[in-house]
Amino acid sequence: MAKLNRKQIAWRVAQDIPEGAYVNLGIGAPEMVANYLPDDREVIIHSENGLLGMGPTPTPGEEDPDLINAGKKPVTLLDGGSISHHTDSFAMIRGGHIDICVLGAFQVAQNGDLANWATLDNSRPPGVGGAMDLAVGAKDVFVITDHCTRDGQPKLLNQCSYPLTGTAVVTRVYSDHALIDVRDNSFIVREIADGISSDQLSDMTGTALTFADDCTVLKTPEL
């Protein structure tokens, strides 16, 4: 059984980002997607704090504390990049101008509901950041997630039990076991990791899966 590691999931997402797309990459694992975009593909990355055309991490010593991404890490701007203030940056998000955003998730429901900002643990201060804006604003919401929690609970469910980020927003899930479209109130498995059976995947999922007729093996390089 060969589940994907985080880099491989990020690589797989990157292959689906088309030339010319405006893409917002969430904090954490989604940020890694930028590392695996094909060299010949021009993609414009948006960061909620006002960057459009974000470039790679600067070489050590070249960091500018005033040029950071949503995760507050130093970044660069590509030629053609631009700066906007926060309200203008969120107008891009909320106005439907971002083609794809890639987010992490605690839970995803088969109707596309997303829970990724708060758990049921009230001792921790909640924090939402730009997640709710991205969830409703981006044309496509891709989720990167492990198929199950660390203690084996499914994260793909009939219905989310955690507080929602948005309803009916997720369009595709990239898990460590499969690539799954969310459509017509169903999880439709498009690609499944090598060595994982349909039954095994179903056992790890909290609701019924539909397997596409042309469901193939989810292939990634070693990373």
Partner 1 sequence: MIDKRVYDFDAALEGMKDGATIMSAGFGAAGAPQELLEAVLDRGYRDLVIISNNAGEGERGLIKLLKERRIAKVICSFPTSSNSEITKELYSAGLLELEIVPQGTMSERMRAGGAGIGGFYTRTSVNTPLAEGKEVRNIDGDDYVLEYPLKAEFAFIKAREADRWGNLTYNLSARGFGPTMAMAAETTIVQVDRFVELGEIDPEQVITPGIYVDRVMEVEAS
Q: Is 39 near partner 1 (CB under 8 A)? A: no
CA dist., res. 31 & res. 143, Å (int): 12
Helix segments in 96-179, DSSP class H = 131-137
Told to judge if 31 belongs to the known catalytic residues of this protein, a careful annotator would answer no
Q: How far apart are CA 28 and CA 171, in angstroms?
A: 20
The residue (of 10 and 118) whose beta carbon lies closer to partner 1 is 118
**Interatomic CA distance for residues 143 and 113, integer angstroms:** 11
Least CB distance from residue 20 to partner 1, whole Å? 5
Closest CA to 178 of 158, 195, 160: 195
Q: Please, which residue, 50 or 154, has the CB nearer to partner 1?
A: 50
Provide the mask over 150-189, with x wherever binding to partner 1 is found by CB under 8 A and - wherever it is not. -------------xxxxx----------------------
**Exactly one of 19, 31, 42, 48 is catalytic; which is it?**
48
Q: Nearer Cβ to partner 1, position 115 or 193?
A: 115
Tokens coding 9 = 């999931």
Q: Mark residues 71-110: x for contact with partner 1 by CB under 8 A, - for none.
A: -x----x-xxxxxxxxx--xxxxxxxxx------------
Q: Which residues pair with 186 in a beta bridge?
A: 183
Rg (CA), the chain: 17
User: Residue 94 is inside which H or E element, if any?
Assistant: helix 86-94
**What type of residue is 115?**
A
Among 39, 61, 123, 152, binds partner 1 (CB under 8 A): 123
Least distance in angstroms from the C-beta of 206 to partner 1: 20
CA–CA distance, 188 with 175 (Å, rounded to integer): 13
Which residues between 133 and 152 bind partner 1 (CB under 8 A)?
133, 136-137
Q: Which of 132, 188, 142, 205 is nearest to 164 (CA)?
A: 132
Instruction: Determine the interface stretch with partner 1 among 61-69, 142-150, 175-183, 211-219 (rule: CB under 8 A).
Output: 61-69
Give the residues lining the site for partner 1 (CB under 8 A). Answer: 19-20, 22, 42, 44, 46-53, 64-68, 72, 77, 79-87, 90-98, 118, 123-133, 136-137, 163-167
Question: Which are the catalytic amino acids?
Answer: 48
